[in-house]
Structure 1
Amino acid sequence: MTPAPLALPTSAADWPAWFQERTQSELARASELVDGLRTAPPTQPVDVLRQWDRAAGHLGNAAAAGSLFGNVHPSDEVRDLADAAEQEAQRIGTAWGLDRELYDVLAAIGDSAVAHDPLAARLLAKVRDDFRRSGVDKDEATRARIAAIRERITEVDQEFSRVIRDDVRTVRVTPQQLAGMPDDWLAAHPVDDEGMVTVTTDYPDSVPVRMFTRDQDVRREVTIAFLDRGWPTTEPLLSELFALRHELATTVGYADWPSYDADVKMIGDGPAIPAFIERIVEAAEEPMRRDLAQLLERYRRDFPDATEVPSYDYNHYAELVRAERYDVDSQRVRTYFDFPKVRDGLLEVTGRLFGLRYERVDVPVWHEEVTVYEVVRDDERIGRIYLDLHPREGKYKHAAQFTLTDGVAGEQLPEGVLVCNFARGLMEHDHVVTLFHEFGHLLHHVLGGHGDWYRYAGVATEWDFVEAPSQMLEEWAWHADVLRTFATDAAGEPIPADLVAAMRAADDYGKGIYARTQMFYAAMSYWFHADRVLGEDAPDLTTRMVELQDRYAALPYLPGTHMFASFGHLGGYSSGYYTYMWSLVIAKDMFSAFDESDLFTPEVAQRYRDRVLVPGGAGDAADLVADFLGRPSSFDAYAAWLAR
């Protein structure tokens, strides 16, 4: 029997009470199951593991509700309750990991007792590793300190996210300074009583302005405002966060935080991260130089004495290069990507690809712009998805998939939420690609949510693999035959194939710059954490950022700015931002299995769905990919893509 989806409150006034009841009941059930393991554990070893897994599932329900609604709910009261619930779930999870009595119950299970059940044996190995990494073997005083560190890490991380979420900066300009902006953007930004237009640092404002406005002063002002979000408030928060992580890692026996974090990822150990960064840097060197030469050549037509292109002019002049060299006018491209048609097209494309159907349902949600769909496969509901895709005050500022519930067969339906900040009208094609990307996470969550264990549900693979399925799905947003099914202009004419070909050629421009920019971010992510081994001798964050930008990035540092202050990935991704590029290497390799002349070939799409997405975390990512490809993953497809 298919489990029923979660029923959300029917009115705004009911949300606080509903949220408290939901999270408190889940936490209570989790604690009840764990108490039972201590006092009267099941007699069968597999049942012991299953009870532990179910306890973790209920704890995860509370943590997921806290994380989601703390980032999307319009009510300050609910967001505060959500933050508190997430903290409590983290506190309980930390206490479990440091509980020797509980550990003794689980550690007593011998390998031979679960050898007949490969998934149970896999879970047992992971549970043992979890306890080791938690510090359960330390003395009482050390375990108390570990608990305090973890609790404070959660608090600081939440505060970091809150500051970024709430710090929306504005630049006021005259209408004349917005020459070059699309008509629909101008219509959505009327002149105020003082004859000025307000531009915010939210993506639907700042991205088009930096790309299209011909006024360099406006581009500079908006870029500075965007880069300085969170500054100076978040710098002491980040410094404390990095110090806490370092203390935690060294306390449980690792050299530093990156070594601790990488231990459970595909990459294996911390020092492999800068080695991987250098490999990408080397592969991207020639493409970057080629990109920069074209960019500077165009820039010198307007600034003959320039020796480099400042970051605030990059988007605008990269757009000019694409328009002039590749005949791609992004304002024309936008006319084919009206948001409602893009959303519906995404559902049609992914439904056809993976054998799914999406049925829109009218159910209570937290905001009127959220749309809800049942995901149906073979006439059976297999999940529910929520699309929260437009910006508003107090909402998460980037793009991500959040969990509402993880799925386990017969017990709980997988439900996921897409949280983005797209324009309500015409979209840049880059944002269409982002929508496909994030929807890839949602599909992974739903399709992988039908096993027998919460531990393996959905996006439960190694963290440096989770982006690969999403990055691969981006390819469908670049294919003419796919785009023509939903990308139509106001007259209903589909996007021309020659325009899509030009868009793809233009997209190849800038890959080298992009790869090097990503490695700058990855280096910040790694070295901000690795530097903690230097103690008081560690460079301050701004100094280190400037050094790393000079070393790795294609574009120069903009003096006086502090991009790291709003680099939200320093929270959830910590030292692991490299994972985006690591995953992209795998994504390009997986995509090589598809025939670009027919991206909907059922045999390949279904094999990918069933061997990579459906298992969730039930196998190591490298094994899942090899099972799909028929060979181990290779760097070759990525290198060829970068060089072309």
Structure 2
Amino acid sequence: MTHDTTASAPVPLRLPGSDDWLAWVAERTEGQLAEAKRHVEQVKTGTPDEVLAAWNRAETAIANAEVAHLWSEVHPDPAVRDRADELSQEVQKYVTELGQDKELFAVFAALPSDGLDDDASRVLEHTLRDFRRAGVDRDDATRDRLRELSETGVKLSQDFGRNIRDDVRSIRLAPERLAGLPDDYREAHPVGDDGLVTITTDYPDLVPFTTFGADGEARHELALAQNNVAWPANDQVLQDLLAVRRETAALLGYESWPDYDTEVKMIGSGQAIADFIERISAAAVERAKEEVAVLLERKRADDPAADTVATYDSRYYAELVRREQYDVDGQVVRTYFPFEQVRQGLLDVTSRLFGLEWTPVPREDAGTWHDEVASYDVGLDGVRIGRIHLDLHPREGKFKHAAQFDMVKGVAGDQLPEGVLVCNFARGLMEHDEVVTLFHEFGHLVHHVLGGQGQWLRFSGVATEWDFVEAPSQMLEEWAWDADVLATFARNAAGETIPAELVAAMRRADQFGKGIYAVHQMSYAARSYFFHAGQHDDLTAYGDELQRRYSVFPPLEGAHMHCAFGHLDGYSSGYYTYMWSLVIAKDLFSAFDAGDMFAPDVAHAYRDKVLGMGGRKDAADLVEDFLGRPYSFDSWASWLVE
């Protein structure tokens, strides 16, 4: 990668720290929105030579304004979150208006492409495509209706996410029903005045309980609570959101929302999603059935009359199988992964792999929104190239899952990329699955920073097709499974490094459950796709039907998981993305030497040819540039049968 050091170096965004966040969020958003409008006028009145540069400045300001969404998900003050939601609506309303501005479209349509370099030509091509997808060429009545639908959709999306974020459910249990849970978990859940213990649906409570909790009925109660988060509120919200998407696609001339949605993705069409779901299901179903049979056999050792394995049994009995048949005890494994050590280990691993430097930034300098947020300047070859913020523990009103959010999109010589990692990990010991998740999500953060060094906002950061964005993160998970890598940071309280033979056993044990994972993912992908491909009056019943068709676990009676399935908003019909990206991730990893995971030639080629390119090329071309050939299913197919 190269860096322009001739211009004055941009500095990180100045956050308000202990000052008035409510005023700052409004001033930042409204100021950037005004800046965007000023640059749009320059697009309309400038010479052809000035158009794309002015448009780049306008898109930069719009992206800065869109960051209001971040504050709605992470800020501890509900007044700030609510105001950020309102501001996001204003920004999206303006974006919709821009997309249907015929005068603006005419400027780009008349712009000569002769003499443009590859990146500028791609900006123009994508801009014209986006105008058409917004309905700029439709009649006035259609454009008016599209604007109404867009505004309604934004509000419904916010309602859907807010209902999930704010609805933390819990169960109350007698302390003896925590049998099987680790001592530190029990200590963190004291008995209340009524003699009962509270277990919530937040991840630090949920994951260990479903993994180690021996009380099957208690696991059932917690699973029902988790799968009914945001029920019944989100049932109608989701129906309304699906209706908005169906009508939008129809008005724009598409047969379905998935056809509209996939036009700008690698997969290319809605039918291709359905075909992909069937292809993965067919490849994995027999292995999945064999694995469920193993789980059922183990369950019958506890309950001879058992005739099925429920979803809330799967993690618990898979843990027992791994412990008893593969000699891997998850409660022992977790002792090697204290949170603080894992976080530092991750920074050290990615520093060594990508040549990055992570410099801690004190909170008083970073000005962050909560005292648990850790900030780091990112350096490469002695040059600061960005800043990251790690917000990794749960709190009231915060986003409930794990994701990377843009705070600033990088533009060379103008603004540094800044990203925020938002997760919900425990503050003590981590399950190894959580370590893998942290590596995965951090991969998005690295992609955001490394891809944010170019000239064009349009291609900054994780700006590739949406069904590719998970691939780099899924590939980074491989470093969380390597014994030599783990030995650099995985140590227990006695200072003992995780044994290589334990890691080897963990890897063998991880082979168990691949089939189950693949088909269960397809049951989620099927909900995502088929909910959008046609109208269904009862989403619970239809979701249960899809679960029976694609998963090896029966539906959970009394559950309404679609209401808590946050990906139905952001990913809409595209949840298949996770498995599609995994196919590519396995192929990308095939270029690395498992015996030398940090070999700089391949690691830096991957950094520069894939991550550092942002969205400057189609994802398939980025992969081919790195691998020297088109991507294929071969590595994934080999992985499945290992």
Q: Same fold per TM (> 0.5)?
A: yes
Instruction: Map 1:474-513; keep pairs closer than 5 Å.
Output: 474-513=477-516
The whole-number CA distance in structure 2 between the counterparts of 1:634 and 1:194 is 58
Aligned to 2:34: 28
Structure 1 residues 338-372: Cα deviation after superposition (integer angstroms, max 9, x where no partner) = 00000000000000000011000112110110000
- Aligned: 1:15 with 2:17: no
Aligned to 1:41: 46
Q: 1:6 aligns with which of 7, 13, 31?
A: 13
Aligned to 2:400: 397
- Kept in 1: contact 2:229–2:564 (CA 8 A): yes
- Aligned: 1:104 with 2:106: yes
Shift of 1:539: 4.0
Aligned to 1:286: 286
- Aligned: 1:67 with 2:69: yes
Q: 1:82 aligns with which of 81, 84, 87?
A: 84
- Aligned: 1:428 with 2:428: no
The whole-number CA distance in structure 2 between the counterparts of 1:469 and 1:243 is 33
Aligned to 1:541: 539
- Kept in 1: contact 2:43–2:52 (CA 8 A): no
The whole-number CA distance in structure 1 between the counterparts of 2:17 and 2:261 is 41
Q: 2:375 aligns with which of 368, 372, 376?
A: 372
Aligned to 1:331: 331
Which deviates more, 578-587 or 304-313?
Answer: 304-313
Instruction: Map 1:217-616; keep pairs closer than 5 Å.
Output: 217-362=217-362, 363-532=366-535, 538-616=536-614
The whole-number CA distance in structure 1 between the counterparts of 2:42 and 2:201 is 51
Aligned to 1:144: 144
Q: 1:625 aligns with which of 623, 626, 637?
A: 623
The whole-number CA distance in structure 2 between the counterparts of 1:53 and 1:265 is 23
Shift of 1:207: 1.1
The AA in structure 2 aligned to 1:497 is A
The whole-number CA distance in structure 1 between the counterparts of 2:131 and 2:232 is 37
Report the secondary structure of 1:85's partner residue. Answer: helix
Aligned to 2:123: 123
Report the secondary structure of 2:375's partner residue. Answer: strand
Shift of 1:185: 0.9
Aligned to 2:3: none
Report the secondary structure of 1:198's partner residue. Answer: strand
Structure 1 residues 33-92: Cα deviation after superposition (integer angstroms, max 9, x where no partner) = 112222x22341xx311211221111111112x111100000011101111111111111
The whole-number CA distance in structure 1 between the counterparts of 2:555 and 2:111 is 55
The whole-number CA distance in structure 2 between the counterparts of 1:271 and 1:571 is 20
Report the secondary structure of 1:111's partner residue. Answer: coil
Report the secondary structure of 2:605's partner residue. Answer: helix
- Aligned: 1:188 with 2:188: yes
The whole-number CA distance in structure 2 between the counterparts of 1:101 and 1:86 is 25
Shift of 1:305: 2.6
The AA in structure 1 aligned to 2:402 is A
Where in structure 1 do 4 or more consecutive aligned residues deviate above 4 Å?
none
The whole-number CA distance in structure 1 between the counterparts of 2:168 and 2:551 is 26
Shift of 1:208: 0.8
The whole-number CA distance in structure 2 between the counterparts of 1:627 and 1:304 is 56
The AA in structure 1 aligned to 2:568 is L
Structure 1 residues 479-513: Cα deviation after superposition (integer angstroms, max 9, x where no partner) = 00000100000011100001001111111111100
The whole-number CA distance in structure 1 between the counterparts of 2:485 and 2:549 is 39
The AA in structure 2 aligned to 1:24 is E
Shift of 1:196: 1.2
The AA in structure 1 aligned to 2:46 is P
Unaligned runs of 5+ in 1: 533-537
Aligned to 1:535: none
Report the secondary structure of 1:387's partner residue. Answer: strand
- Kept in 1: contact 2:17–2:369 (CA 8 A): no
Shift of 1:113: 4.7
Shift of 1:276: 0.5
The whole-number CA distance in structure 2 between the counterparts of 1:614 and 1:505 is 34
Aligned to 2:57: 54
Structure 1 residues 287-324: Cα deviation after superposition (integer angstroms, max 9, x where no partner) = 21221121111111122232211122211111111111
Unaligned runs of 5+ in 2: 1-7
The whole-number CA distance in structure 2 between the counterparts of 1:634 and 1:503 is 27
Aligned to 2:213: 213
The whole-number CA distance in structure 2 between the counterparts of 1:10 and 1:53 is 30
The whole-number CA distance in structure 2 between the counterparts of 1:90 and 1:96 is 10
Report the secondary structure of 1:499's partner residue. Answer: helix
Shift of 1:278: 0.5
Change (3 A) 1:569 1:599: same
The whole-number CA distance in structure 1 between the counterparts of 2:115 and 2:437 is 46
The AA in structure 2 aligned to 1:493 is E
The whole-number CA distance in structure 2 between the counterparts of 1:232 and 1:539 is 14
The whole-number CA distance in structure 1 between the counterparts of 2:146 and 2:22 is 32
Structure 1 residues 211-252: Cα deviation after superposition (integer angstroms, max 9, x where no partner) = 112112211111110111111110000000000001001101
Shift of 1:477: 0.2
The whole-number CA distance in structure 1 between the counterparts of 2:228 and 2:490 is 35
Aligned residues: 632
Report the secondary structure of 2:336's partner residue. Answer: coil
Identity fraction in percent: 59
Structure 1 residues 174-197: Cα deviation after superposition (integer angstroms, max 9, x where no partner) = 111111111111111111112111
Report the secondary structure of 1:335's partner residue. Answer: helix
The AA in structure 1 aligned to 2:47 is P
The whole-number CA distance in structure 1 between the counterparts of 2:47 and 2:190 is 66
The AA in structure 1 aligned to 2:38 is E
- What TM-score do the two structures reach when normalised by structure 1? 0.97
The whole-number CA distance in structure 1 between the counterparts of 2:528 and 2:590 is 30
The whole-number CA distance in structure 2 between the counterparts of 1:638 and 1:342 is 28
- Kept in 1: contact 2:42–2:51 (CA 8 A): no
**Cα root mean square deviation, aligned:** 0.9
Aligned to 2:5: none
Structure 1 residues 495-548: Cα deviation after superposition (integer angstroms, max 9, x where no partner) = 00010011111111111001001000000000000013xxxxx34201110110
